[in-house]
């Protein structure tokens, strides 16, 4: 009796292993989906079907990812690890996932990401890092992350973001920044310029709202004029952007100010205020006065020329009348003289 029961259990375990569905998980062979949600897991389950395309691991207590955790699922396309306890990701955490396209890491405890964390994901298109505790991002997410089209870093602790990272993602179409304590000092100019260019090219973003300094708190970064950053060192403002028609005169003036200060001064992290440049409105007013003066001068010259021409024409006409018409008037015609002569007879 006990032997039969043991045989049955062994067969069940064997079938379970052959089918590739881990314990506590539900597997759908038709969609090749493994659902391990809400199971209290502390690590990536083993005995996964090698043909798995979708792996749902959200709402567990997974706190680490072993280096070979996904060796059994080389064709995985969607991986959801949201609402877990991940605080650190090793550089080989996602090794072997050559076909992964969507990675959801929201609502974890991540604080920092290594620049090689996602290097093994050449097909990655959507990366969601929202609702973590990330305070800093590297200059690149990996050597093979150029296909990312959606990046979300909402609800983190980011105060600044190097535009080098954003420029390393040439296929980026959507980027979400909201609810971070952005520090809108000199260091944010690169992000401001990149965001303007990104939106001009048709990109989608939820915008950057400043948290500090106090006089810019709650303001949209894109609506802060460049003159507010006139005191920043050239290393913050002198950037190379694609040539687009949307660059306005204020941006060009800020570049000139940056070049003027290029030889010398070290960067000031707090961007202490310096004597303010002449306001844009005043420069515009002066330009308007100059242009108006030039136009008025041209009009006056044209009027003077017209007056001289009119006077000259009038003088010539009067002279012509005196020389050619006056004699005829004095002599009179024969018809006019005959009645006068007959009256004397």
Q: Please write the tens of the pLDDT for every residue from 135-166.
A: 999 999 988 899 999 999 999 999 999 899 99
**96, two tokens:** 């072997």
Whether residue 338 is contained in a domain is answered as no
Whether residue 137 is contained in a domain is answered as yes
Which of the four pLDDT bands, split at 50, 70 and 90, describes residue 12? very low
- The CATH number of the domain where 190 resides is what? 3.80.10.10
How many CB atoms are located within 10 Å of the residue 337 CB? Answer: 11
Q: Please write the tens of the pLDDT for every residue from 16-32.
A: 444 569 988 999 999 99
Host domain of residue 80: 19-284
Check residue 19 and give its pLDDT: 54
Give the count of domains, the chain: 1
Whether residue 341 is contained in a domain is answered as no
**16, two tokens:** 């379970």
Whether residue 265 is contained in a domain is answered as yes
Whether residue 41 is contained in a domain is answered as yes
**175, two tokens:** 């980027």
Which of the four pLDDT bands, split at 50, 70 and 90, describes residue 318? confident
Whether residue 11 is contained in a domain is answered as no
Task: Measure CA 93 to chain center.
Answer: 30
Whether residue 23 is contained in a domain is answered as yes
Residue whose C-alpha is closest to residue 94's, from 108, 105, 84: 105
Asked if 180 and 159 touch (Cβ cutoff 8 Å), the reply is yes
């Amino acid at each position: 009796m006990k032997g039969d029961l043991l045989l049955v259990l062994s067969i069940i375990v064997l079938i379970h292993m052959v089918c590739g569905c881990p314990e506590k998980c539900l597997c759908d062979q038709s969609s090749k989906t493994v659902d391990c949600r809400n199971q209290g897991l502390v690590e990536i389950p083993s005995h996964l079907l090698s043909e798995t395309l979708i792996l749902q691991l959200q709402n567990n207590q997974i706190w680490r990812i072993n280096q070979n955790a996904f060796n059994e699922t080389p064709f995985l396309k969607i991986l959801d690890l949201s609402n877990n306890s991940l605080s650190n990701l090793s550089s080989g955490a996602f090794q072997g996932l050559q076909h992964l396209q969507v990675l959801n890491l929201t609502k974890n405890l991540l604080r920092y990401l290594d620049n090689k964390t996602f290097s093994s994901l050449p097909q990655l298109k959507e990366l969601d890092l929202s609702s973590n505790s990330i305070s800093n991002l590297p200059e690149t997410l990996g050597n093979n992350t150029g296909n990312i089209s959606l990046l979300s870093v909402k609800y983190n602790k980011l105060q600044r973001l190097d535009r080098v990272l954003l420029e390393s993602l040439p296929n980026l179409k959507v980027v979400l920044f909201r609810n971070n304590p952005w520090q809108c000092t000199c260091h944010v100019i690169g992000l401001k310029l990149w965001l303007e260019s990104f939106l001009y090219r048709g990109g989608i973003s939820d915008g950057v709202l400043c948290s500090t300094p106090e006089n810019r708190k709650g303001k949209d970064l894109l609506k802060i004029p460049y003159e507010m950053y006139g005191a920043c060192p050239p290393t913050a403002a002198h950037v190379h952007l694609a040539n687009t028609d949307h660059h306005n005169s204020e941006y060009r003036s800020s570049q000139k100010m940056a070049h003027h200060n290029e030889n010398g001064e070290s960067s000031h992290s707090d961007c202490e205020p310096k004597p303010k440049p002449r306001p844009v409105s005043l420069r515009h007013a002066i330009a308007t006065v100059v242009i108006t003066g030039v136009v008025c001068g041209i009009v006056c010259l044209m009027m003077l020329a017209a007056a001289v021409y009119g006077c000259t024409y009038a003088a010539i006409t009067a002279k012509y009348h005196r020389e050619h018409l006056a004699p005829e008037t004095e002599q009179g015609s024969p018809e006019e003289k005959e009645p006068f002569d007959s009256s004397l007879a």
